[in-house]
């Protein structure tokens, strides 16, 4: 097992998500940055959906009570093992009694810590992911805190891997986020759509796992901002009466009555979730066919991200 010595501001257990429950008002949850999450699991020899930790803004400090492999990906949080610096985006072997600590994020927002075998918490509605607002999943439906104990599933120590340096995401640059316009793009003025696509938007500190709140050039509506409530997809860009976009994320509501100007492509959600408050992003419109092509390219690149770690 691992014992939490300091949970940090928000460390939760996540797997790839709780699917099939949105019709009942329960979001999928799971990691905000799915790309970093999957790579962390692959670095320790797990399947992509094994439960791991998501740390927000600042990491956790914990002691391991069994020899295992760990990997830390995502935001640039400095990693130490027993006080000595350790590499990120790489397989790390730890022994019983070792203390691992993640510091404050220098770049990015969310880091992921995977353990060989995965975290062994009770699955709720088919998933181990924590949904904080609903208080379900993970460990008692909440963020981890001091003295929590989380069991690990048994696993052999894996081969050592690392993510190729040129494949580590650059969270420091302002991202260009690809979107497909719609489903209510016709409810905005032409000038409003142009403003959305031609200006930068700042991430606000009110953002969380439910949605990323942005501030920038106002996006005017053509016929009001209210619609009959309909379904909310991952990445839906709602624009309420103030004309400011909100990108809905993994803990989003199931339905909403505000007009949706666009939908962020799934492969860019992680970049949105890694943008610190005060930093900016831009949007670029793509067609559905191009979005599918880009998704296939993203998946192909994910398969080539790992390489054998050089022997010491």
In the chain, what percentage of residues exceed pLDDT 70?
98
Q: Please give the DSSP secondary-structure letter assigned to residue 194.
A: H
* 299 and 209, same domain (yes or no): yes
Beta bridge partners of 216: 201
Is position 37 within any domain?
Answer: yes
pLDDT of res. 304: 82
Together in a domain, 225 and 149: no
Radius of gyration, alpha carbons of the chain = 20
CATH of the domain at 272: 2.40.100.10
- Is 171 inside a domain boundary? no
User: Is residue 129 one of the residues assigned to a domain?
Assistant: yes
Number of domains in the chain: 2
CA distances from 301 to 13, 57, 127, 177, 224 (A): 26, 27, 27, 18, 42
User: Which of 298, 280, 304, 247 lies closest to 35 in space, CA to CA?
Assistant: 298
pLDDT digits (tens, 9 = 90+) for 109-154: 999 999 999 999 999 999 999 999 999 999 999 999 999 999 999 9
Choose among 201, 262, 135: nearest CA to 248. 262
Q: Does 65 lie in the same domain as 193?
A: no
Q: Give the end of a domain, one of 122, 142, 166.
A: 166
7 in the same domain as 122: yes
Other C-beta atoms within 10 Å of 3: how many? 14
Task: Give the pLDDT confidence score for residue 223 in this predicted structure.
Answer: 87
> Could you give the 3-state DSSP secondary structure of residue 183?
coil
Contact 280, 273 (CB under 8 A): no
Residue-range definition of the domain harbouring residue 85: 2-166
Query: Is the same domain home to 188 and 109?
Result: no
Cα–Cα distance measured from residue 41 to residue 148, given in angstroms and rounded to the nearest whole number: 22
Displacement of CA 172 from its chain's centroid (Å): 16
pLDDT of res. 224? 87
pTM for the predicted model, two decimal places: 0.95
Q: Which pLDDT score is estimated for 104?
A: 97
173, with CB counted inside 10 A (0-12, 13-18, 19+), is: exposed
Q: Which residues of the chain have pLDDT under 50?
A: 310-312
Residue 92 lies in a domain: yes
Q: What's the Cα-to-Cα distance from 255 to each of 187, 209, 213, rounded to whole Å?
A: 18, 16, 17
CB 154 within 8 A of CB 45: no
d(C-alpha 91, C-alpha 142), whole Å:
28
* Cα–Cα dist 206/41, whole Å: 29
Is 96 inside any structural domain? yes
Rounded Cα distance, 273 and 105, in Å: 13
Question: Which residue in the block uniquely carries the two structure tokens 């590499």?
Answer: 87
For every residue of 103-127, DSSP letters joined together read -B-SSSSEEEEEETT-EE---BTTB
Asked whether residue 130 falls in the same domain as residue 9, the answer is: yes
155 and 182 both lie in a single domain: no
Tokens of 107: 């770049």
100 and 20 fall within a common domain:
yes
Q: Which residues contact 59 (CB under 8 A, 6 or more apart)?
A: 8, 11, 72, 77, 79, 101, 102, 103, 104, 105, 111, 113
How many Å apart are CA 274 and CA 73, to the nearest integer? 12
Are 158 and 182 in a shared domain? Answer: no
Q: Is residue 310 situated within a structural domain?
A: no
Model confidence pLDDT, tens digit, residues 263-292: 999 999 999 999 999 999 999 999 999 999
pLDDT of amino acid 310: 45
- Which pLDDT score, from 0 to 100, does residue 256 have? 92
- Give the pLDDT score at 307: 67
Instruction: Report pLDDT for 308.
Output: 60
């Amino acid at each position: 097992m691992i014992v939490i010595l300091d949970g940090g501001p928000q460390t939760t257990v996540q797997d790839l998500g709780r699917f099939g429950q949105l019709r009942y008002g329960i979001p999928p949850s799971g990691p905000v940055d799915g790309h970093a999450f999957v790579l962390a699991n692959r670095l320790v020899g797990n399947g992509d959906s094994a439960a791991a930790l998501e740390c927000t803004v600042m990491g956790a400090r914990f002691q391991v009570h069994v020899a295992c492999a760990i990997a830390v990906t995502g935001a640039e949080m400095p990693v130490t093992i027993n006080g000595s610096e350790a590499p990120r985006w790489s397989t790390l072997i730890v022994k019983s009694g070792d203390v691992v600590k993640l510091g404050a994020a220098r770049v990015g927002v969310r880091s992921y810590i995977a353990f060989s075998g995965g975290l062994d918490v009770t699955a709720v509605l088919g998933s181990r992911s924590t949904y904080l607002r609903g208080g379900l999943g993970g460990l008692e439906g909440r963020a981890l805190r001091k003295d929590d104990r989380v069991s690990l599933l048994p696993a052999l120590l894996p081969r050592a891997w690392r993510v190729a340096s040129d494949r580590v995401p650059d969270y420091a640059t302002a991202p260009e986020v690809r979107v497909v316009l719609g489903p209510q793009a016709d409810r905005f003025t032409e000038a409003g759509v142009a403003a959305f696509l031609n200006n930068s938007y700042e991430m606000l500190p009110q953002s969380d796992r439910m949605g990323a709140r942005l501030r920038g050039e106002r996006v005017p509506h053509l016929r009001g901002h209210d619609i009959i409530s309909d379904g909310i997809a991952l990445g839906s860009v709602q624009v309420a009466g103030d004309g400011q976009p909100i990108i809905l994320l993994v803990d989003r509501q199931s339905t909403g009555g505000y007009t949706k100007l666009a939908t962020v492509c799934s492969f860019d959600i992680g970049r949105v979730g890694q943008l610190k408050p005060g930093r900016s992003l831009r949007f670029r419109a793509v067609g559905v066919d191009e979005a599918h092509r880009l998704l296939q390219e993203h998946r192909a690149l994910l398969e080539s991200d790992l390489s054998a770690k050089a022997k010491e």
